[in-house]
Chains A and B, each alone.
Chain A
Amino acid sequence: MSQLQARFFTENKKYAIDDVPFSIPAASEVADLSNVINKLLEARIADHKHVEFDFLVRGQFLRSSLASHMDTENISTEEVVEIEYVQKFTAPQPEECIMHDDWISSVEADSEWILTGSYDKTARIWSLEGKAVMTMAGHTDVVKDVAWVKRDGLSSLLLTASLDQTVLLWEWNSEQNKVKARHCCRGHAGSVDTIVVDPSRTKLCFISLAELKCLKTVFSLSVPTEEEDEVEEPNRPRKKQKTEQLGLTRTPLMTLSGHNEAVSAVLWTDAEELCSASWDHTIRLWDVETGEQKSMLTGSKVFNCISYSPLCRRLASGSTDRHVRLWDPRSKDGSLVLLSLTSHTGWVTAVRWSPSNQHQLVSGSFDNIVKLWDIRSCKAPLYDLAAHEDRVLCADWTDSGLILSGGADNKLYTYRYSAYVSDAGA
């Protein structure tokens, strides 16, 4: 049995061991290595409890035996191998299953409340324990997206977008549990599919999936091909003005046109930059100040969803060809895919970066499975969360250690993951 020289290190001081090379069997796997570390720790610390570790060789998770991994990664076995170990990310535990009356089109959670939009034309607020708190019924058609805007003590502002081409701004008082429609934003000629609020919480952007930019005359013969996405930037209603502007209809400040087909997803990368993904196989970055396109990333398939992580400054996109792809939005040449995560078997409809861990993201797909990925292990996902019985339509994380996913089986699942990985991975 061949032996390898390995040196173990970790960034977690709690589990640090001596910086000396060990000779370990080449065929050893994660569990064997984990036992080795635990043995060492037991020798060092008296009251050590058994901890499962995960191992990284040159930034890649060890998933097979050490020898085969090094073989595939082309790492020389002659030298001392540096192996980093981190505490194993334990499987997210399913917690709640919140039943809805219809498909869940969108979910957004913050530290206290979960906001869901549903195909039964309502948006609902739930507590983290899965208790229905509030139902907002005001739309005349399917609610396509929801977003929290602001929390001001007990009163919160939230947005719902719907197929009836409007976006409603609601004010919700959590103590009195009263909800009030504040504003109605119009401007789209099609259903509003995605709504995002910028990081400074003063602007919002909404887009419509399949809007056609056409003249408002039925007799027009020109076949419109251009889709547009629109940015609505209402001046944030100040408290004083609120009473006066109650129920006021708002119109768009700016229209960004350039996409050739339906725009499927949009997000703010920072306060001045907007990113949109479209069915015309492109992701475009826009300067909101000038309203001009800054750069373009070209893919080969229709994009369904994108997500941006400020921690690692990467863009993740889900497309109809079942891959999750990572992009660098700052690259100018535009078509560089950093990484492809392939495991899904259906359209990827939701991707979301972890708010706390720069390596992790979740993706939901039409193959009924939510997958939790670590980009250091791109061959296979960390965990498959196979709870849904039908297509997954939306997914989200919270800072407080919850993964949420909603789908066409009318169920919103919540999973609790161990939050302590954040300090290990950060």
Chain B
Amino acid sequence: EDLSGFSRICSPQRGKLDKTAGTSSIEIMDVELGYSLQPVSLIALLPHAHFLLHSLSPSSCLAMCSQDIRNTVGNIPMEWYKDYPHIGYDLDGKKIFKPIRTKDELDEFLDKMENPDYWRTVHNKMTGTDLRLSDEQVDLVHRLQQGKFGDVNFNEYEPAIDFFSSEVMIHPVTNRPEDKRSFIPSLIEKEKVGKLVHAIKMGWIKPRRPKETAPKYYDLWAQEDLNTVLGRHKMHIPAPKMRLPGHEESYNPPPEYLLTEEEKLAWEQQDPEDRRVSFLPQKYSCLRAVPAFSRFIHERFERCLDLYLCPRQRKMRVNVNPEDLIPKLPKPKDLQPFPTTQSLVYRGHTSLVRSISVSPSGQWLVSGSDDCTVRFWEVSTARCLKTVEVSGAVKSVAWSPNPAVCLVAISYGETIVLLNPGLGDKFICSATDQLISSYEEPEESKEQSVQWTIAEGSDHEHGQRLILKHPKAVRQVTWHGKGDYLACVMPDDNSSLQVVIHQVSKRRTQNPFRKSKGMVQCVSFHPIRPYFFVATQRYVRVYNLIKQELTKKLMANCKWISSMAVHPGGDNVICGSYDCRLAWFDLDLSTKPYKMLRHHKKALRGVAYHKHYPLFASGSDDGSVIVCHGMVYNDLLQNPLIVPVKVLKGHTITHDLGVLDVAFHPSQPWVFSSGADGTVRLFT
């Protein structure tokens, strides 16, 4: 029934084809329908068309085969057959001829206008014929377009038999045996897992980063320091407020605020800037009588000018206590011991005492004076034990630092005398004499600039042992630390023979310098190393005696060096100068003075270091001796500590000369000073 109905629809115009068509016509129609109606509906129709096709029974399909006019031309554009009378071929290979008369546009239009079935007419491209769809076919199309099954009677909601349910049945649904792979470990998986494991081991795969739980937004001001906020605003100074109006400004002030005539006059005569109030208080009977304030704009303007022009800012003032700028020095009280009081006066000289020297034992003191005598004193009692007269003003005395020898070098005029005072141990004294007399004249004696002669007669009885005659006046004589070498200074501006060094044991004289580098003031041996210090007027030169070269040149920054002393450690030198200054040099530090002390009021004449205590002293023409604490540290990083501790006075100034020489006791913190008043004083 279905089929017949269908064929009727399919062949509205050709009765022959109705029966011959069959399933194939349906197919054609299907395609034709889809194409002509709507492209979208065609897609929707396609599966249903197949369904239609399949739903045809095979027998009917075979029955229609005889009349099958199915085009076999394939899926080619039909325009290719435009110029041919046929259009493709059927299954038997016969040409399928086009309908005799093809419709043109006008026919098409007329047909559209006149034929009421035009809407259900579709064109079969394959055969070039038109088909009129029957009611059933249109209905079918509509059903398919709505997504319904083509068969009206098909119940799509029939109850389904649940094969695969949760219930375990007695018999399996399928009898298929289990796959082998379901129980054999998979090699591919193993390979994949192995690769992953390897990648994890190599670190190529990293564990997933934990998700950051921090909130994406934060408190902008939570971290802000309160101080910075305050710091930003601390410079803020609010504008000064205007004074609130008082009774004076009232339109009806109490009578005591009103000015009298004299006060008014005074107010008017005052300079506007000096006035206490800028207006005259006035009294009105009522507010209505108050005139306009003529100066209002002016006053506002002034106020604005005040706010704008008057800079409101804090002035940062550095409060420095002037006492904080003074370097912190330890108190002299903490630096004891140092000499504080005058204890003994050694009287006896009748003229100024130029030079003093203390014996290495500290028991004796020798002093040389302009009264042509050398006196030997007992330190502890100020007793003059011995007086030796020489034939000239004594310029310099020096006790030999070797305690095994009892020798004093005395310079006067052009002569240096080595004198055995005979004090102290008799054995040492006699040994000294023996040592001097045991000298043997070398066979080939060189011509020397200095004459060495042995004292004889009364000179010998007075203790003189060796007499050295120099070509020029000798000003200073100083011993080397071991007591064999003796350096003496003969100042002369342009002679190379200014400094000579004598060797007592060999009675030899050397002139270490060939050239004159200025007038030599004083010389000194380094206490430990083979260095030699030569002070000229402005410089101190340090020579290496072994290498015979200049090691250092110290700039004293003063006009005329008068005296020099070398620290027992050997790394520090002090220089006194005639321009009231004392320069402390640290040889490790610089060639310029480490410190300049300007404590004296007049020229310095003598400086000295203590052998053991950290003390040094300077004597000056102002009659005072200044004792300073001069601590030198072994630590190279620490600079010497210099603290003036005491001004010792006692010497009277005679002929504008005060203290001429200072010397320390070798073991006690005592200082000796000799002065122009002919005395030697001991300060303890």
Hey, which bits of chain A sit against chain B, CB under 8 A? 103, 119, 142, 163-165, 189-191, 209-212, 214-221, 223-224, 261-262, 264, 279, 300-302, 304, 320-322, 346-347, 366, 391, 393, 408
Within the assembled complex, what's the spacing in Å between the Cα atoms of A210 and B363?
A: 6
Residues of A within 8 A of B381 (CB): 103, 391, 393, 408
Q: Are A218 and B405 in contact (CB under 8 A)?
A: yes
Task: Please tell me if the beta carbons of B344 and A366 are within 8 angstroms of each other in the complex.
Answer: yes
Known: A189-B426, A217-B431, A218-B428. A366 touches B343 (CB 8 A): yes
Q: How far is the CA of A189 from the CA of B337 in the complex (A)?
A: 30
The 7 closest A-B pairs by CB, nearest first: A210-B363, A218-B431, A189-B425, A218-B404, A220-B404, A210-B361, A320-B684
Known contacts A216-B427, A219-B404: A300-B337 contact under CB 8 Å: yes
> Which residues on the A side are within 8 Å of B124 (C-beta)?
none
Chosen A-B contacts, 14 in total, with CB atoms closer than 8 Å, are A190-B424, A210-B362, A214-B404, A215-B404, A217-B404, A218-B432, A221-B404, A223-B360, A224-B403, A262-B361, A320-B684, A321-B684, A366-B343, A408-B381
Q: How far is the CA of A301 from the CA of B425 in the complex (A)?
A: 26
Q: Is the interface of A mostly helix, strand, loop or mixed?
A: loop
The answer to the question of B383 belonging to the interface, with a C-beta cut-off of 8 Å to chain A, is yes
Residues of A within 8 A of B435 (CB): 218
A320 in contact with B361 given A165-B426, A218-B405, A218-B435 (CB within 8 Å): no
A163 to B428, CA, bound (A): 15
In whole angstroms, how far apart are the Cα atoms of A320 and B434 in the complex? 38
Partner of B361, one of A212, A217, A264, A300: A212
Is residue B270 contacting chain A, with contact meaning CB distance below 8 A? no
CB of A211 within 8 A of CB of B404, answer no
B60 at the interface (CB under 8 A from A): no
Residues of B within 8 A of A391 (CB): 381-382
Do A190 and B383 touch across chains, with their CB atoms under 8 A apart? no
Bound-complex Cα distance A300 to B382 (A): 23
| B385 interfacial by beta-carbon distance below 8 Å | yes
Question: B403 is contacted by which of A214, A216, A320 (Cβ under 8 Å)?
Answer: A214
A215 to B360: give the CA distance in the assembly, Å: 16
Q: Are A103 and B383 in contact, CB atoms less than 8 angstroms apart? A: yes
What is B's interface to A at a CB cutoff of 8 Å?
337, 341, 343-344, 360-363, 380-383, 385, 403-405, 424-428, 431-432, 434-435, 482, 667-668, 684
Contact of B668 among A191, A211, A223, A279 (CB under 8 A): A279
- Assess whether A190 is in contact with B432, with CB atoms less than 8 Å apart: no
User: Contact between B343 and A320 (Cβ–Cβ < 8 Å)?
Assistant: yes
What residues of chain A lie closer than 8 Å to B343, measured between beta carbons? 320, 346-347, 366
Are A209 and B426 interface neighbours, CB within 8 A? Answer: no
Tell me if B667 and A211 are in contact (CB < 8 A): no
A420 to B73, CA, bound (A): 176
Chain A residues with Cβ under 8 A from B482's Cβ?
221
Whether B404 contacts A209 by the Cβ 8 Å rule is: no
Q: Write out the residue numbers on chain A whose beta carbons fall within 8 Å of the beta carbon of B383.
A: 103, 119, 142, 408
The residue on A at minimum CB distance from B430 is A218
Q: Which residues of chain A are within 8 angstroms of B426 by Cβ–Cβ distance?
A: 164-165, 189
Complex CA gap A220/B435 in Å reads 13
Chain B residues contacting A212 (CB-CB under 8 Å) are 361, 403, 424-425
A223 with B363, Cβ < 8 A, contacts A142-B385, A189-B425, A209-B380 known: no
Distance between A264 CB and nearest chain B CB, rounded to angstroms: 8
How distant is the Cα of A391 from the Cα of B383 in the complex, in angstroms?
11
Q: How far is the CA of A347 from the CA of B341 in the complex (A)?
A: 10
Within the assembled complex, what's the spacing in Å between the Cα atoms of A164 and B424? 9
Give the distance in Å from the alpha carbon of A279 to the alpha carbon of B668 in the complex.
8
Chain A positions within 8 Å of B684 at CB level: 302, 320-321, 347
Which residues from B are CB-within-8-Å of A209?
A: 363, 380
Contact of B424 among A210, A218, A304, A347 (CB under 8 A): A210
Give the distance in Å from the alpha carbon of A174 to the alpha carbon of B337 in the complex: 51
Residue of A165, A189, A220, A320 with highest tally of chain B CB at under 10 A: A320
Contacts of B380 in A (CB 8 A): 209, 264, 304
By the criterion CB–CB under 8 Å, are A302 and B668 in contact? yes
Chain B residue, CB-CB nearest to A103 = B383
List B contacts of A261 (CB < 8 A). 362, 667-668
Smallest CB separation, A137 vs chain B (Å): 18
Give CA–CA (A304, B343) in the complex, Å: 13
**Closest approach, in angstroms, between the C-beta of A188 and any C-beta of chain B?**
9
Distance (Å) between the CB of B204 and the closest chain A CB?
82
Residues of B within 8 A of A163 (CB): 385
Instruction: For the complex, give the distance between the alpha carbons of A210 and B668 in Å.
Output: 13
Task: Please name all residues of chain B whose beta carbon is closer than 8 Å to the beta carbon of A218 when the two chains form the complex.
Answer: 404-405, 428, 431-432, 434-435
In the complex formed, the residue of B with least CB distance to A210 is: B363
A84–B336 CA distance with the chains assembled, in angstroms = 42
With A189-B425, A211-B425 given, name 8 new contacts (CB 8 A).
A190-B361, A210-B363, A215-B404, A223-B403, A347-B343, A366-B343, A408-B381, A408-B382
What is the bound-complex CA distance between A221 and B380, given in angstroms? Answer: 27
Smallest CB gap from A141: residue in B = B385
Chain A contacts for B434, CB-based, 8 A:
218
A264 to B379, CA, bound (A): 13
Q: How far does the Cβ of B124 sit from chain A's closest Cβ, in whole Å?
A: 143
Interchain CA distance A302-B403 in the complex, whole Å: 22
